[in-house]
Amino acid sequence: MVDFDALTRASLRRWHEAKPTRKFLSDKVAQSLVAAKKRYQAVEAKTGVPWAVIAVIHERESSQNWGRSLAQGDPWNRVSVHVPAGRGPFNSWEEAAIDALVNCHPHLARRKDWSLAGVLIGLELYNGLGYANKGVPSPYLWAGTNQYKSGKYVRDGLYDSSHVDQQLGCVAMLKSMMAIDPTITFAGAESTSSTPQELHRAPSIANPSKGSIGAFIARIFNVICKRTS
What is the C-alpha separation between 223 and 163, in angstroms, rounded? 41
Find, among 195, 192, 187, the residue nearest to 215 by Cα: 187
What is the C-alpha separation between 158 and 168, in angstroms, rounded? 21
Phi-psi group of 190: left, alpha or beta (phi > 0 → left; psi -120 to 50 → alpha; rest → beta): alpha
Average pLDDT of the chain to the nearest whole number:
88
Average pLDDT over residues 148-174: 95
Average pLDDT over residues 183-189: 92
What is the C-alpha separation between 56 and 119, in angstroms, rounded? 11
- pLDDT tens digits, 17-57: 999 999 999 999 999 999 999 999 999 999 999 999 999 99
Partners of 158 in beta bridges: 155
* pLDDT surpasses 80 at 215: no
Asked whether the beta carbons of 54 and 44 are under 8 A apart, the reply is yes
Specify the higher pLDDT residue, 32 or 198: 32
Find, among 156, 141, 61, the residue nearest to 101 by Cα: 61
- pLDDT tens digits, 81-130: 999 999 999 999 999 999 999 999 999 999 999 999 999 999 999 999 99
Assign 3-class secondary structure to 129-154: CHHHHHCCCCHHHHCCECCCCCCEEE
